[in-house]
Amino acid sequence: MAMGGRAPGAKLTLRIGSRRYPIVNQAAGTCLIQAPEDAPLRGVADIYEGDRHVARCLILLSESHGDHMRLSYKWRTPVQSVPPLDFAL
């Protein structure tokens, strides 16, 4: 595994609806993606590592940085394959 638990060569992407944006860099509460300046980047989005859904986030703010956008999250929650321990049926 590569640094941060990612498999070598795995690409992170941000998905909003049918649109996909490559994630260039992540930091606490933010990420830098490759996207056009006019991309609609607010609201709920999903983060994928290849085809694997790894997180869901709420984007509050996006700032243009040339051909990249810096996004700020209100929350980012990892996707789990099992329900939480306090989940009741």
Residue 40 inside a domain? The answer is yes
Q: What share of the chain is helix, strand, coil (3-state, %, to 5)?
A: 5, 55, 40
Residue 63 inside a domain? The answer is yes
Residue 85 inside a domain? The answer is no
Residues 8-51 pLDDT 10s:
556 999 999 889 999 999 888 999 999 887 887 889 999 999 99
Residue 73 inside a domain? The answer is yes
The pLDDT assigned to 88 comes to 67
DSSP structural state of residue 6: P
Residues 48-80 pLDDT 10s:
999 999 999 999 988 888 889 999 999 999 998
Residue at token pair 């590569």: 2
CATH code for the domain of 54: 2.40.10.430
* Residue 54: domain span: 3-78
Position 86 confidence tier, pLDDT thresholds 50, 70, 90: confident
Contact predicate 24/33, CB 8 Å: yes
pTM (2 d.p.): 0.78
The pLDDT assigned to 1 comes to 34
Question: What's the domain count of the chain?
Answer: 1
